[in-house]
Amino acid sequence: MADEGGIYAEDIVKNSYGTLGLVVQDAEETSDDSDNEDEALKKGELIVSWYPSGNEETTLISKVKLADRSLLPGDVVKHADPNKSKQKGYISDVEVVASVKVLAANQVVTNVNCRELEPLQELLPGVHVTLGPWLGFVKEANQRVTLKMKNGSRCCIEDEQTEMLYDMSDQRDEDSPFYSEAFYPGQVVAGPSKVFKEAKWLSGAKPIIHSQQQMRGTVEEVKVVSCELNWQICGACPGEEFGVLIQPDATVNEDQLSRLKVVNHYRHASIQIGDKAFYTVKAKDLEMTANSQEGKPSSLAPLPNGQRADAGQVGNSLSPLSDHVPEEEVSWHEENKKSHHQGVVSDSTDADDDGDGGEHTGHKSKGAHSQGPKHDSSTGAPSMRFPVKRRRKRAKRKRKPLPHMEVNVGDKVCVEITSTCTTVDVIWQDRSKNTRIPSTDLTPVFHLDEHEFFPGDYVNDKRVTADATVYGTVLTTNCASRTCDVKWFTREGTELSIERDVSVYDIAEHTDFVFNSGDIVVRMVPPDYCTSPLAAAPTPSTPCVGQVMNVDEHGNVFIRWVDETEAHVIPQELYKVDTEDDDQSVEYGDDSQNNSEDEWETASDVSSDEASPDHDDVIIDNSSPQVDGEGRGEENDTENKEAVDLNALNEILSNRNPAFMILGAVPEDHIFKSTIFDPGNRRKIMSVIQRELSLLHSSLPSGILVRSFEDRVDLYRVMITGPPGTPYEHGLFLFDVKLPQDYSSSPPVFHYISMCSGRLNPNLYEDGKVCVSLLGTWTGKGSEVWTPKSSVLQVLISIQGLILCSEPYYNEAGYEKQRGSHEGLENSRLYNEMVILKVIHSMATMIARPPSGFETEIRQHFVENIPKLLQKLNFWLEHNKILTAAEDSCNDVLDNEATATQEDRKEVKDEKKLEEQKPKEDQSTTKLPQEDQCPANIPHEEENGLVEESAEENRTGTVEKPEGESCQSSASSRTSQLQEAHKSSNDPLKLSDFPLFPLSKGFRKSLEGCLRQLKIATEAQNLRACTSIEKVLNNL
């Protein structure tokens, strides 16, 4: 993510010289926990790889401009213009138009639709393919490269030997985003003599090969001869025989390769500058070339005279080349490979000298990102003003210009993308649609909460009264009010009804039906039995694998199959393939590192289960407790009691502290009761536990209660009160704690006892996971990580102060950098709405089923705090009504002003038109504007049709700023009156210390449901809060 300046990683930018570059990294991508702070980017900095040289430079956002932005189907976006609608949308289709350089002819073709480009190699690792009804992905593709030598002899090289060949014309680093390992006809390649000795010679006289020589030749043909595939699933097709249901062999040989069909309808959207592809020359391209020679605009235009083709001097199969590579070129390529991971800094002036080779790029690991600007950078990169960080410094060398091949209509030639222009279709949350929007007018949205819905999303109803067999499809979403219109369906897919204004907090993403544009799906029900009324009649060749286009208003998934036919299918008949995991497993193998979100969710597993071998004995899976665990536990408990210093324990017990108490036995519902505690060095660990007990007894801060147990001194149960001034205030949060057998060398294990569905904090998971750096379940530095001197008390204080905080939104990994931005403030406000609802939901659950060990304390807490909470909610609702009324009043004033202003603007236009129609007195004399007519004071039209007026006075005689201040002043005054009315309360009311207002309509609707649950729970437990709850409900 990037700053609100609007430049993101993988964007295409241009500098003041017009040179294009790919943003490799922005400051927001730099990890907060990076060990090397010197290399971390500062806010507003970017690392750009300039095209075509591939040189990297650290520069400022203010020094570059956005040229193009890569967006893919399914990406969520918003308007880049802050004055436009705040709603979000998703990309439904992408068009990319490019300028491409014909490498063999050193000419540029403009306005090429990227759908017309063909990949150099289609079967690449990670690409999904079908064979009949079977879907799988390519793990490895073995290819055969046929070379033609200078003396006319031909040879072929296969498998691993092809990896030793390199492009003679491409001097870019192997890790450059513009580098490619793909081969194509006409390319001049070289390799060690060993490769050619082991090659299969097809025709002509085999040249003399010396052991120390590097040989070169021209690629004549590139062909995939076999593929290693990972078959994933078999779909259902009509009239299928038993034979097709048998999984195909993992190895597909040359005679079967033609049956493979690639599943990649949106391949064109992944094109970016520097990529190579095949293009078939059209007649109009040559016609435009003829026009350019006459001084007219050209489509296929030669580069300026004397201009070096930095990425194009590869079409030299017609030139008199020697089979042997000059020594200086050999030494450079050897140095290039040896220094693959080294980096040096050099001035950008070197880029012009050593950029005489060709440059090309291959399959990008970024999945499907197409980026590029409208400008043609074939003229090469000019000298930069800033130092360029280069991964390697290579020897300068000169190359003689080589003749270029003539291009004819119908020729399939290799081209390199020099610039792109991306436009997209967007479906907005209100279901409106815009087409052909320039991607630069949109901003990608990286941080979406679980309550952000879009047309076509499948949802479940979370309300208590909901029917679990019913699911829904979102028709529209109102992002301001946080409500949706939902069409409900039976389990079989029959339409039931449409419900308006459903709170987003009352629905959740469907557990099984999640379909986005571009997803690969497999039909699991034969089309003969298809229940969708829009489905076409099946044929024997009807495919069962395709990609999602969208979800229609009838709740059907609109799919384009691999044979380019289309169909509407109900979600129950489809299986979505998880392609992201497949790509990672192919690209990175078993040693791959997950992305930041995966690290967050798996850090607890890695740290608590794998960091210490003892943990396997400590934590037992709740779903399969040990049958004999209790027997061994009792035996160990007897030994543990003997090892404890009884005098010290009695001293602790005698000084009773209600915050810390030692109970007799572990509750049956303690998550770690079935685990075994059998430390190797009992005396040592009992000494540590004794110190821990003493510290908890004497030093617990207010709001934290701890219970220990005589029969299991390694277990605790903790209750923390929600801190004041946070959305967690008045709530209770319980944890089960286990000390490992090597405590305190290893941190304790915490389990959060969740009382609501979903997460009410980024660090507290519904399954009990607690993400805290002290526990080793999240990264940290210095005092943030566990040491033998750390204690359970430190963890408790960290949870109370750092996790249960006033703005928990920023606890999410990487979100802290949004603090201070408008986007961060709005996201934090909406997150706090969700927290308050879940806290009330948790209260109702905890009142009905209080965890053992704290029954009395829980009841007493809610007797005291529920009335305070209800009084506060009532005050907030009254204040929100005042805010809403004041905002509506201000909007009415502004609307009236806008109407009057538009009428005045029309009068000005009419006067101007009449003035233009009058005969002009003297056009030879230029009249200078008077001082009172200078452009700063003359009204001018904006894009929204309004006329910008002076801040002090406009045509209506109203002053805009004081009017707005008047509205705010009125709202503030009425809120003060409310506070005065509540002064008699023992707990004076005040507005929240965290972002919360204005309260959305969805929040108020869900609050009503939560309060009714709370009312039922309090009535059952005779807590007598019903009257106060009814008062709040009436205010809703």
What residue type is 676 in one-letter code?
A: I
Q: Is 1007 left (phi over 0), alpha (psi -120 to 50) or beta?
A: alpha
- Whether 1026 is catalytic is no
Stated as kind and residue range, the H or E segment containing 333 is helix 327-338
Rounded-to-integer distance, Cα 261 and Cα 128, Å: 8
Overall residue count recorded for the chain in this entry: 1036
Per-residue H/E/C for 190-218: EEEHHHHHCCEEEECCCCCCCCCCEEEEE
Spell 1013-1025 as b/e; 16+ CB within 10 A means b: bbbbbbeebebeb
In the chain, count H helices and then E strands.
Answer: 16, 40
Residue type, 59: T
DSSP string, 216-275: EEEEEEEEEEEEEEEEEEE---TT--GGGGSPPPSEEETTTGGG-EE--TTGGGG--TTB
Q: Which two tokens stand for residue 360?
A: 């090309």
- In the set 114, 771, 805, 967, the catalytic residue is 771
Q: What is the sign of the dihedral through the CA atoms of 797, 798, 802 and 808?
A: negative
Residue 778 is encoded by which pair of tokens?
């999240």
Residue 113 CB coordination number (10 Å): 11
What is the DSSP-derived secondary structure letter of residue 325? Answer: P
Strand partners, 358: 170
Characterize the bridge pairing of strands 660-663 and 574-576: unpaired
Residue of 993, 612, 1021, 583 whose CA lies nearest to 776: 612
In the three-class reduction of DSSP (H, G, I as helix; E, B as strand; rest coil), residue 166 is classed as strand
Q: Tokens for 298, please give them.
A: 């050209």
Whether a cis peptide bond, with omega within 30° of 0, leads into 998 is yes
CA 571, CA 820: separation in Å to the nearest integer?
42
What tokens does 848 get? 């009905």
Question: Which residues is 390 bridged to in the sheet?
Answer: 344
Report the C-alpha gap between 194 and 431 in whole angstroms: 62
Can you tell me the distance from the alpha carbon of 89 to that of 76, in angstroms, rounded to the nearest whole number? 6
Which residues 6+ apart lie within 8 Å of 642 measured at CB?
none
Taking the C-alpha atoms of residue 641 and residue 665, their distance in angstroms, rounded to an integer, is: 13
Q: Which residues contact residue 227 at a Cβ distance below 8 angstroms, ignoring those fewer than 6 apart?
A: 123, 129, 138, 139, 140, 141, 142, 251, 252, 257, 260
Rounded CA-CA distance 920/898 in Å is 34
β-strands 704-709, 660-663 pairing: parallel
Residue 871's nearest CA partner among 786, 771, 970, 990 is 990
**Tokens found for residue 350:** 């070197």
Question: What one-character DSSP code corresponds to residue 761?
Answer: B
Q: What is the dihedral of CA 272, 275, 279, 283, to 10 degrees?
A: 60
293 by Cβ neighbours in 10 Å (0-12 / 13-18 / 19+) ranks as exposed
User: 404 near 259, Cβ under 8 Å?
Assistant: no
CB atoms within 10 A of CB 837: 23
Pick from 760, 168, 221: nearest CA to 451: 760
Contact criterion met (CB below 8 Å) for 341 and 295: no
> Which tokens go with 666?
């572990």
* Catalytic residue numbers, as ranges: 771
